[in-house]
């Protein structure tokens, strides 16, 4: 459950990590929803449009293409396209796996192996919006692969870094839970306690790619949310 006290992004406090004529990259806060859904809550895409409209004093509608999404209780890097041409190019780059993404997760239990590649088959249950992981293929399942490495031992948790090879529904959350390492605050996937802000400690930390227009190398690191557990990862 998301608490009322959470601080969401708005046009005044938007965390812009990179902007040029073609793309804008945002550091999403816990609780931000990237694109509109059945909740009717104002999505981050609309907040970014408002920001651009004011910044550039645009009289009409502002175009903004949603390239990818992050789960609402997570935080970190989200890319938006400022033109339809760039949106199609970025979509192809994601499909062709030409965009490198690295995530940080804080988990309660120490993984059995410090570094490992996990392969499972995930099946989504739309009734409860939850995925289940299996060790072999079953009906209506999709192969899910990720690699992780343990970066740091905290007082009560472990920081791990994840690189996705596939992009499945709740993939990181589901696969880490499968190996007995649910993410801090993630009640849906086995955490014992929720976080005060209703979020989970999963953060899209790094992204790197070749710019689809000017061919320059883009590498972005998103600052972690402001809380004691994340701060302990940086210290």
Residue 7 has pLDDT above 90, yes or no: no
pLDDT at res. 149: 98
Residue 214 has pLDDT above 70, yes or no: yes
How confident is the prediction for the chain on average, in pLDDT?
A: 93
Q: What share of the chain has pLDDT > 90, as a percent?
A: 89
| Tokens standing for residue 203 | 């953060």
Domain contains 210: yes
Domain contains 148: yes
- CA distances for 36 relative to 42, 43, 44, angstroms: 7, 5, 8
Domain contains 7: no
pLDDT at res. 185: 97
Domain contains 5: no
pTM over 0.85: yes
pLDDT at res. 60: 86
- For residues 114-140, average pLDDT: 96
Domain contains 8: no
Q: Residue 219: which of 17, 33, 15, 5 has the closest Cα? A: 17
Residue 31: domain span: 16-234
Decide: 146 and 171 in contact? Cβ < 8 Å.
yes
Q: Is the dihedral of CA 165, 168, 170, 176 positive or negative?
A: negative
CA distance 90 to 25: 13
For residue 204, the number of C-alpha atoms closer than 13 Å in the C-beta half-sphere is 27
CA distance 55 to 61: 13
Domain contains 9: no
CA distance 166 to 151: 22
Residue 200 has pLDDT above 70, yes or no: yes
- For residues 105-110, average pLDDT: 96
Domain contains 3: no
Number of compact structural domains in the chain? 1
Q: What is the CATH number of the domain that holds 151?
A: 3.30.2350.10
Decide: 164 and 92 in contact? Cβ < 8 Å.
no
- For residues 149-163, average pLDDT: 97
């Amino acid at each position: 459950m998301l608490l009322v006290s959470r601080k969401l992004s708005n046009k005044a406090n938007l965390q812009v990590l990179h902007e040029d004529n073609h793309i804008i990259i945002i550091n999403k806060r816990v609780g931000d929803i990237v694109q509109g859904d059945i909740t009717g809550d104002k999505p981050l895409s609309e907040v970014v449009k408002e920001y651009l409209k004011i910044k550039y004093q645009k009289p009409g509608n502002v175009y903004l293409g949603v390239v990818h999404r992050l789960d609402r209780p997570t935080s970190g890097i989200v890319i938006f396209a400022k033109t339809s041409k760039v949106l199609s190019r970025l979509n192809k780059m994601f499909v062709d796996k030409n965009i490198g993404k690295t995530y940080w997760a804080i988990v309660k239990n120490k993984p059995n192996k410090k570094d490992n590649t996990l392969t499972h088959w995930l099946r989504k249950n739309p009734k409860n919006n939850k995925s289940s992981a299996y060790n072999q293929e079953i009906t209506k399942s999709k192969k899910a692969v990720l690699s992780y490495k343990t970066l740091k031992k905290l007082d009560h948790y472990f920081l791990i870094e994840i690189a996705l090879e596939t992009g499945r529904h709740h993939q990181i959350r589901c696969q880490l839970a499968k190996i007995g390492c649910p993410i801090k605050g993630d009640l849906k996937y086995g955490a014992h306690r929720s976080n005060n802000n209703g979020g989970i400690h999963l953060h899209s930390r790094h992204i790197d790619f070749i710019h689809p227009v000017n061919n320059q190398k883009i590498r972005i690191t998103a600052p972690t949310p402001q809380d004691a557990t994340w701060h302990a990862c940086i210290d």
